[in-house]
A and B are shown apart, each in its own frame.
Chain A
Amino acid sequence: MRTTNHTLAQDTALKSGQRITLSALPSGNTGTVAELQGGRGFTTRMAALGFTPGASVTMMQNFGRGPVIVLVRGTRIALGRGEAERVWITLNGDKSHEESR
């Protein structure tokens, strides 16, 4: 298996297809929303903003602490770290890997 995404930090050993929280997604990488955790209020708000299962999210800014900025459905959304931790995503890699799964 080969990971073509060079922007992934080398030492974190993130692999495409892996399930991580949005807060663990390094800047410049893209994932697909898998699950939202938390109360109904949180889920409905996030869903309205475009965070529905299957939606593609790109991390614009993640410094490992503090809030993050993600791009979802063409809009930049700032999320508190706590909120980013409640969104589970599947890491996107190259297509061949996705299909071989």
Chain B
Amino acid sequence: MKNPDETMRSASSVLGCCAEGDSPSPPAGACTVRVALVGQPNVGKSTVFNLLTGLNQHVGNWPGKTVERKEGIHRCDGVDIQIVDLPGTYSLTANSLEERITRDYIIRERPDVVVMVADAASLERNLYLLSEILCLPAPVVLALNMIDVAQQQGLGIEPHVLEAALGLPVVPMVASKNQGVRELVDTVLRVYREGQRGVCRPDIREDHRQVLAEIADLIAGSVPEPYPEDWVALKMLEGDEEITEMMRARLSPEQWERVHRVLMRHEDAILAIAGGRYEWVRRMTRAALTVPKAGQITLTDRIDKVATHPLWGLFVLLGVLGAIFWLTYTIGSPIQAFLDTYLVQAGAEWVRTALSGAPWWVVGLLADGVIGGAGMVLTFLPILVIFFAVLGALEDIGYMARAAYVMDRFMHLMGLHGKSFLPLFLGFGCNVPAVMGARIVDSPKARLLTILVAPLVPCTARMAVVAVLAPIFFGSAAIWVSWGLIALSLVVLAVAGIALHELVLGGEHVAFIMELPLYHQPNARTIGLSVWQRTMGFVRKAGTIILIVSVVVWALSVLPHGQVDTSYLAAVGRFLTPLGALLGVGWQMMVALLTSFVAKENTIATLSVLLGAGAEGAGLAQVLPTLLTPASALAFLIVQVLFIPCAATVATIRQETGSWKWTALSVGMLFVISFTVGIGAYQLARLVGWGV
């Protein structure tokens, strides 16, 4: 399986730009080494990537796919190392989008060096992926990460012995402590310059060798570039759908018939092949790895005794969630209030003074549209940053996988499994990352279901509206109203989930298979970058979609006569009066609800404008009780909490589902649900004579 151009490339690079010596120095940036980072999930691959690239990275999507693509550059001794962080995968069979992307990249883009990051503490399973990568035409360097964790586990690993067995460079690392990075870079450059030969590639087991040769014979000459023929034969034997489909289209019907007959005879070959790979792994690690006697109780076991217990685990989870909320709101809310007063309101005031000579619409546009709309949304950043940081730390420690496990029982009730819990929980911060976070759910249908119910998680912004309005009507009972609204949202979420399970999945069972990583010390850098990326995603939305819609809504609220009462927006609100009447609210409330589509906090801003209560909403406390009864206020809050997600979330739903149909369904569903529940509550209150 020797790749002919490996030797060619190593020869040319000696002559080329990377050679030190008398040759004329190449133009800057001419020498670039393209490196692909591969590895299974939870092996610290992102930590390695972040160490190498720092903030010098670009996060986007793979073309046409909802899988994150991370690219970055590491500069070292005048060489640009271009690093692509391929998605984490356990194997390279076309089971998931991630796996397809990873193998397609290696086969089609031909990186100069593939760095496989492995978790030294579960070497056996990690080398399974290596056994698959070695079948692809690329030089490989094995980065043995988390050597320290392996030692804590009592594992004895000798990298040199492993290196000798595999015939490829092995670099021991502790990425979380910045150890081994320099060595890794040096090794990558060495392999790039010198090429790689003498690698011990896994062989297929005796009993299937014959069949494999038979398939390879049958497809010889028909395999498209740049796929290696024997790899395609192996994948077909494994029953890989994508490759089999590709070959079916290329072979003549007679040829396909013959191949198909062979494949049908060996339908369960995958188990034998996988077993063979694990045998190879065992052979490779026999001398290099010493495993302690079984029966040792590790720290992970001790923590898990409580953390994954069906009952205690639930208490732990509730405690952790409670602590997150407490921390977020105790620290975050005062900062948000501070920014609101001193940045948004002061900023708007400053604009009014500074531009007092400008036309009214310029001032309005800047002060009310831009600062009051998009600026207001940005004041929620501190709350989000704290929320994301705590969540990121829990993820990095390894706890979030346990939370998913504990929640699995409950998530099953609505046809989801534990993994969906993580993105849904993110939703308490902001629904945008929640919808995007649904990517971790491996089945496409379960992912869709998670996305559809995610907007029912009450986000920070919605709860902020409740925090302003509830005390006006319910005084000291406001806190119970808030908790009640959160509980109501979650009940509605569960009911919607159960109903959608039938619709989306047809009641189909979703497999729950998840690794529980060992607990380990959190790494500030990893957490910092995850917070940075999640937050920047939100800021980018605020700067684009939210900004545009804020301006549009502001325009609708002043056109055509510069007065809110006679504006187009008011006309829409009046049109919706019959619907509002069922809730016991007037047109102003309906308009406030509509503008919450821009950003949930807008409810307050709109009411302030409509009721002429002053920008800071302080006057609302006097005006609102004259307009609403407690019963209709409660109904209004219910609708507002369950209402259509904000524009940014809707845009994200469209982007992640890739379908207007599901986006429309999501919006329609939430519209119907919110009014049904709200009207129901109001009519019930009237019936029993409460708060009318």
Given known contacts A40-B270, A49-B125, is B515 in contact with A77 (CB within 8 Å)?
A: yes
- How far apart are B481's CB and chain A's nearest CB, in angstroms? 34
A74: chain B residues within 8 A (beta carbon): 121-125, 291
A43: chain B residues within 8 A (beta carbon): 268, 270-271
Q: Is the CB of A77 within 8 A of B514?
A: yes
Which of chain B's residues 301-319 have a Cβ closer than 8 Å to chain A?
Answer: 301, 304, 308, 310
Quick one: which of A61, A63, A66, A80 contacts B511, CB cutoff 8 A? A80
The interface bits of chain A over 21-50 (1 if a CB of B lies within 8 angstroms of the residue's CB, else 0) are: 000000000000000100011111111111
Q: Is the CB of A46 within 8 A of B513?
A: yes
- Chain A interface mostly: mixed
For the complex, what is the distance from the CA of A80 to the CA of B308, rounded to whole Å? Answer: 14
- How far apart are B513's CB and chain A's nearest CB, in angstroms? 6
- How far apart are B508's CB and chain A's nearest CB, in angstroms? 11
B238: chain A residues within 8 A (beta carbon): 44
A77: chain B residues within 8 A (beta carbon): 513-516
Q: Is the CB of B124 within 8 A of A78?
A: no
Q: Tell me how many residue pairs across A and B have CB atoms closer than 8 Å.
A: 116
Quick one: which of A41, A44, A78 contacts B401, CB cutoff 8 A? A78
A36: chain B residues within 8 A (beta carbon): 271
Q: Is the CB of A66 within 8 A of B409?
A: yes
A79: chain B residues within 8 A (beta carbon): 512-513
Q: Is the CB of B418 within 8 A of A78?
A: yes
Quick one: which of B129, B308, B515 contacts A61, CB cutoff 8 A? B308
For the complex, what is the distance from the CA of A47 to the CA of B294, rounded to whole Å? Answer: 23
For the complex, what is the distance from the CA of A61 to the CA of B306, rounded to whole Å? Answer: 11
- How far apart are B305's CB and chain A's nearest CB, in angstroms? 9
Q: Is the CB of B304 within 8 A of A44?
A: no
Closest to B267 in A: A40
Q: Is the CB of B512 within 8 A of A83?
A: yes
Interface core residue of A46, A48, A55, A58 (most chain B CB under 10 Å) = A48
Q: Is the CB of A73 within 8 A of B124?
A: yes
Quick one: which of B125, B128, B310 contacts A66, CB cutoff 8 A? B310
B404: chain A residues within 8 A (beta carbon): 78
Interface core residue of B122, B270, B294, B513 (most chain A CB under 10 Å) = B513
The interface bits of chain B over 392-427 (1 if a CB of A lies within 8 angstroms of the residue's CB, else 0) are: 000000000100110011001000011000000000
For the complex, what is the distance from the CA of A88 to the CA of B91, rounded to whole Å? Answer: 22
Q: Is A76 an interface residue (CB 8 A)?
A: yes
B511: chain A residues within 8 A (beta carbon): 42, 45, 80, 82-83
B95: chain A residues within 8 A (beta carbon): 41, 44-45, 48
Q: Is B239 an interface residue (CB 8 A)?
A: yes
Q: Is the CB of A78 within 8 A of B125?
A: no
Interface core residue of B268, B270, B271, B417 (most chain A CB under 10 Å) = B271
Q: Is B93 an interface residue (CB 8 A)?
A: yes
Q: Is the CB of B512 within 8 A of A78?
A: yes
The interface bits of chain B over 496-527 (1 if a CB of A lies within 8 angstroms of the residue's CB, else 0) are: 00000000000001011111111000000000
Q: Is the CB of A48 within 8 A of B93?
A: yes
A-B contacts besides A66-B408, A66-B409, A75-B122, 17 pairs, CB < 8 Å: A40-B270, A43-B268, A43-B271, A46-B513, A47-B274, A48-B95, A49-B125, A49-B513, A50-B124, A65-B409, A67-B405, A67-B409, A74-B121, A74-B291, A75-B125, A78-B408, A80-B412
> Which residues of B line the A interface, CB within 8 A?
90-91, 93, 95, 121-125, 128-129, 238-239, 268, 270-271, 274-275, 278, 291, 294, 300-301, 304, 308, 310, 401, 404-405, 408-409, 412, 417-418, 509, 511-518
Can you list 21 A-B contacts (CB < 8 A)? A36-B271, A40-B270, A42-B511, A45-B91, A47-B271, A48-B129, A52-B278, A66-B408, A69-B405, A69-B516, A73-B124, A74-B124, A77-B513, A77-B515, A78-B401, A78-B404, A78-B514, A79-B513, A80-B408, A80-B513, A83-B511
> Which residues of A line the B interface, CB within 8 A?
36, 40-50, 52-55, 58, 60-61, 63, 65-67, 69, 73-80, 82-83
